[in-house]
A and B are shown apart, each in its own frame.
Chain A
Amino acid sequence: MSSKEITSTTSGLEANKPTRAAARSHRVHRSVLWMALAIVVTALAYLFWGRDRLPAVEVLQVLGGEKVPGTSFIIMSDRLPRLAVGALAGAGLGISGALFQRWLGNPLASPDVIGVGYGASAAAVFAMIVLGYNDWKLNAFALAGGLLVAALIYWLSASGKRTGSRLILAGLAIGAMLQALIQYLLTQAQLNTASDVMHWLTGSLSSSNWDSALLLLVPLGTIAVFLLPFVLRQLKMLELGEDAAAALGLNVGWARVLLVFVAVAMGALPIAVTGPLAFVAFLAGPISAALTRGPINIPLAALTGATLVIVANFFAANLFADLSLPVGVITGAFGAPFLIWVLVRTNSTGSGG
């Protein structure tokens, strides 16, 4: 998937002199490599220096396939699933945000800003607390909640027009309401620890296990393999404006529905597992665009999202010696200033809401 996206954007490559498109594709490749490297290095570092320091020898032994009492459990049942869930969730959120941002041509239009994320969150909390679900049904509820909110916002921001700013404003309002709803639902529940509350408010990887990793991998993988290539192809037309897309022979109505479905699913499914990891969806696209100095590259945004979560997870575990923070607190702490920066920048260029 990733190679297809990359090669098709570099169609204008000329043999001899490096064109701007070629230079950018070079930057995309380089960024992919650096991101992958960052994930691997951070993941390894986390295996050694997680919440507790593990002896290096034991870690290596466990990675080599040996069973070391205690260490094996920590690595195989806690740290590795956390990394897997974190990477998958980050990738999903990254794709989700990047799709929205490219479609609407506005960095503010990411699911965590426009309330779609809170929709998924609220639905998952409802399913868990009120209905007592704890398996794939939670994911289904999160997906449904996200889609419902997406549809609601779309309807509120007036039928079909690419009114980015109205959509964002409507999303902000819906998001605030949903946050209140989540907090209300949480007060009704018998929650064991503060971290459980934090899980649903800012997102956390603490409850990750191999089951939840699998629960993420299957639907996300299916969508990424079977639907995302079409969405990417159609997105290239949609982002020219709906009339232009239709004139190029695209069925705009269906393309839009498919895009919203994929984008919401990519965001809602991770939220059902990790809670709303703050600002990951919002940050991944613009960061990847800044790295390549070009349009948002969706596969790179996925990788960027994964990197963000993995790195944040490492810091969450190591920033304070006596305290393990939920990942969402770290992503939120980095994301909020970035949001301000985006607001200032888009205001000065006039392309923002």
Chain B
Amino acid sequence: MAQLQANDLTLAYDKVTIVDELSLDIPTGEVTIVVGANGCGKSTLLRALSRLLKPAGGKVLLDGQDIHTKPAKEVAKTLGLLPQSPTAPDGITARELISRGRYPHQGLFKRFSAEDEAAVNRALELTGTMELADRAVDELSGGQRQRVWIAMALAQETELLLLDEPTTFLDVAHQLEVLDVISELNRTRGITVVIVLHDLNLAARYADHLVALREGKIYAAGHPNEVVTERTVKDVFGMPSRVIPDPVAGTPLVLPIGRHRVLRTENVLAAQGIVRSPEFVELTKSAVKQEPTVADELQTPVLAPQEVEPAQLRPGAEHLATLAYQCMVMRTQDLTPAFRRITVGGTDLSHFGTNSHSLDMRIKLLLPPAGGSALTEEIAALRPEALSSPAGQEGWYRRWLSIDPSSRGYMRTYTVRAFREVGHRDNLGDTAELDIDFVMHGQVVNGALQGGPATEFADRAQVGDELLLLGPNRALSDETYGGIEFRPGGARRVVLAGDETAAPAICAILEALPANVTGHALIEVPDTDDILGASTRSGVSVQWLTRGTNEHGVLLAAAVKDVVAIPAAGAVHTDADPEDIDIDEQILWETGAAESAPFYAWIAGEAGMVKELRRYLVREAGINRKQVAFMGYWRRGKTEN
């Protein structure tokens, strides 16, 4: 079989260098596809490979011999080329055109022989153009015409076939038709094929060997799976993209990212030059052993300047489900003596969200230590733009916990009372913002409230104060995000029960519940002053219980027992005693996921109270534990770190 190689090939038109010292081995018997941006020199390369262009430097070797030292007709017997836009003479029939492919095999005076005739018939057969043979070429459809041209190149009966953009100006069905014909020829007759193609996805699908050209040099070469990566696409075509497996062919599929009509996350990532599959360098190196590629040189300038270790570090926004958001206090508002609403905002929050409902979305507040900052190394690495690697992020929480609280501050879980993106009708700021309702526990000492760190933070919060929080990364989160524990599934009847610490969450859930849900919301608050406005369009009836001098949780337990009655004996299996949890040592946190049950209960608040309610609901009322979420937010008399 014929071997085609390029050695240090330099190609130039009028002293403008198009291809620069390029070396390439065309794999024999395979389909090689050359891709690259407009003007990268791919067509020029093809012209040089087919002897049409004399190189300014280097050589093209056909079977080891310089192609320009061979007579044109000799070359034309082993190497056929279909140029980009050949012209069919007016009125010529397909068979006449195809017959012209026999020119290199005909002598000066030799007439059209039986052998020529047979070759033409074979070409017609192989390209499925037999029935078009007698039609005028200018009457044919684009795809048919292109098949006829391929047949002409085939009638040349060469072992190598080079095609320059054979699918240009064809609709997608005809593009496939043409590429299928070429593929077929390669498979059945072992013809070595080189195609210049501009459609990257078709190239990835049809190539055995893909060559990506960039500014006249080979940027990457190898199997399409190795070559087609987001980084290659970015560097070769200057276009951000996502590369996913082609569900039809299994080859890489490039989805371009323009500036408009693209999901916001993709747009943001693209604008920042983020690629998701940067590992092509190693792959290419192993795939193209003998050839130096420019990939190595490009590596450094292509990556972001601050990135020292190549290909490993990526912005957190790209791979961390939970991000640290640097926010600033925008407004504070005293709702009741026990509740203070802090509204925070910040540009980081453009990454915030779960792309789903906002029912009970919990976040972690990082409350700074006295006179210090909560922005530790571990937390800084969680910022959306901070560069990190998934492996490096493992165990960050343990590392954070091991720091002395007086220098790292405290982490507290709070529910997002409301989240408003930029442009929301109630958001007048320039950035997304969220409301957090703080519960003010503690005693006033010398005019300042003393209590837990969150209480103290909320009490002293001023507009402009900074607040770090951990929350879902909207690029990577959906309704399964760990911070969402309200998972009613298909339940139509719900019970929401909790003390004042659960009140903001219950209010937020109520606001988001759909109209077809009924049930009860029971909220125990310290005083009548602390009853918050809670609106809902659902059928859930809301009951505020004021504790007054009662023991914490007593009123709530009674109310829950009222709305969830103990069923008649034998109706349900009731002695499923839940295993005991030492709420002073462990966190009581059980979340169910009621898939199809009609009832769902959500209990949150002080751990002792929640434990009591859990025992009642599971053991006495016989409710399946999967249908109840129990969350001990805090433990009386104990501060967490």
List A residues at the B interface (Cβ < 8 Å): 7-9, 11-12, 19-21, 24, 102, 105, 162, 236-237, 239-241, 243-244, 246-251, 289, 293-295, 351
What B residues does A11 contact at CB under 8 A?
95-96, 99, 112, 116-117
Instruction: Contacts A19-B93, A240-B87, A289-B91 known; list 6 others, CB within 8 Å.
Output: A105-B90, A241-B83, A241-B86, A247-B162, A249-B73, A249-B104
- Identify the 8 closest CB pairs spanning chains A and B, nearest first: A249-B76, A243-B83, A247-B81, A12-B95, A249-B73, A249-B104, A294-B91, A244-B86
- Please tell me if the beta carbons of A240 and B100 are within 8 angstroms of each other in the complex: yes
Please choose the segment from B4-12, B132-140, B174-182, B408-416 that sits at the chain A interface, where 4 or more of its residues have CB less than 8 A away: B132-140
Closest to A243 in B: B83
B351 within 8 A of A: no
Question: Can you give 18 A-B contacts (C-beta < 8 A)?
Answer: A11-B95, A11-B99, A11-B116, A19-B133, A21-B93, A21-B134, A24-B91, A236-B100, A241-B86, A243-B81, A247-B52, A248-B76, A249-B74, A249-B75, A249-B77, A249-B103, A289-B90, A294-B91
Rounded to whole angstroms, the CA-CA distance of A194 and B266 in the bound complex is 83
Total inter-chain residue pairs, C-beta < 8 Å: 103
Q: Kindly supply a per-residue 1/0 record for chain B positions 73-113, scoring 1 wherever the CB is within 8 Å of any chain A CB and 0 otherwise.
A: 11111011111111111111101110111011000000110
> Please, how many angstroms separate the alpha-carbon atoms of A21 and B381 in the complex?
76
CA distance A244 to B83 in the complex (A): 6
Chain A positions within 8 Å of B146 at CB level: none
- What is the bound-complex CA distance between A289 and B116, given in angstroms? 27
Question: A294 to B87, alpha carbons, bound, how many Å?
Answer: 16
Q: Are A248 and B52 in contact (CB under 8 A)?
A: no
Residues of A within 8 A of B162 (CB): 247
Give complex CA distance A11, B101 in Å.
13
Give the nearest-CB partner of A4 in chain B: B111
Which residues of B are found within 8 Å of A293, using beta-carbon distances? 91
Closest residue on chain A to residue B149 by CB atoms: A244
- On whether the beta carbons of B72 and A240 are closer than 8 Å, the reply is no
- Residues on the B chain within 8 Å of A237, using CB: 100, 103
Mark B29-61 against chain A: 1 for CB-CB distance below 8 A, else 0. Answer: 000000000000000000100111000000000
B144 on the interface (CB 8 Å rule)? no
The residue in chain B whose Cβ has the minimal distance to the Cβ of A248 is B103
Residues of B within 8 Å of A295, CB to CB, are 89-92
Q: Is the CB of B76 within 8 A of A247?
A: yes
Complex-state Cα separation, A179 to B85, whole angstroms:
37
* CB of B540, distance to nearest CB on chain A (Å): 71
B156 CB-CB contact with A under 8 Å = yes
- How many whole Å from A351's CB to the nearest CB in chain B? 8
Closest partner residue, chain A, to B14 (CB atom): A159
Contacts of A19 in B (CB 8 A): 93, 95, 133-134
Total count of chain B residues near the partner, CB < 8 A:
46
CB–CB B91/A239 < 8 A? no
Nearest B residue (CB) for A17? B134
Is the Cβ of A243 less than 8 Å from the Cβ of B52?
yes
Which residues on B sit within 8 Å (CB–CB) of A7? 111
Nearest-CB distance from B100 to chain A (Å)?
Answer: 6
Residues of A within 8 A of B73 (CB): 249
Residue pair B135, A20 in contact (C-beta under 8 Å): yes
Given contacts A20-B93, A244-B86, A247-B50, contact A12 B134 (CB under 8 A): yes
Shortest CB-to-CB span from A342 to chain B, Å, is 13
Q: For the complex, what is the distance from the CA of A8 to the CA of B91, rounded to whole Å?
A: 16
Instruction: Return the contact of B86 from the options A236, A243, A250, A294 (Cβ within 8 A).
Output: A243
Whether the pair B136, A8 counts as a contact (CB closer than 8 A) is: no
Contact B133 A239 (CB under 8 A): no
**Cα–Cα distance between A293 and B84 once the two chains are bound (Å):** 28
* Inter-chain contact A12/B96, CB cutoff 8 Å: yes
Query: Is B89 touching A250 in the complex (CB atoms < 8 A)?
Result: no
Complex contact B89–A105 (CB within 8 A): yes
Interface centre among B51, B75, B100 (most CB of A within 10 A): B100
Given A9-B96, A20-B135, residue A250 in contact with residue B52 (CB < 8 A): no
- CB neighbours (8 Å) of A294 from chain B are 91-92
* CB atoms of A241 and B87 under 8 A apart: yes
Given contacts A11-B117, A247-B76, A249-B75, contact A20 B134 (CB under 8 A): yes
Binary contact track B121-154/A, C-beta < 8 Å → 1, others 0: 0000000000001111000000000000000010
Instruction: Give the Cβ gap from B482 to chain A, nearest Cβ, in Å.
Output: 62
Residues of A within 8 A of B120 (CB): 12
Cβ A241 vs Cβ B91 within 8 A: no
Quote the shortest CB–CB distance from B12 to chain A (angstroms): 16
Within the complex, the shortest CB–CB distance from B426 to chain A, in Å, comes to: 60
Q: Given A8-B112, A20-B136, A246-B72, are A105 and B87 neighbors across the interface (CB < 8 Å)?
A: yes
CB distance A246 to B87 under 8 Å?
no
Q: Which of A8, A21, A162 contacts B111 (CB 8 A)?
A: A8
Q: How far is A164 from B537 in the complex, measured between Cα atoms in Å? A: 75
Whether A240 pairs with B88 at a CB distance below 8 angstroms is yes
Complex Cα distance A289/B90, Å? 10
Across-interface contacts of B133 in A (CB, < 8 A): 12, 19
Interface digits, B575-605 against A, CB 8 Å rule (1 contact, 0 not)? 0000000000000000000000000000000
Chain B minimum-CB-distance residue to A107 = B90
Residues of A within 8 A of B81 (CB): 243-244, 247
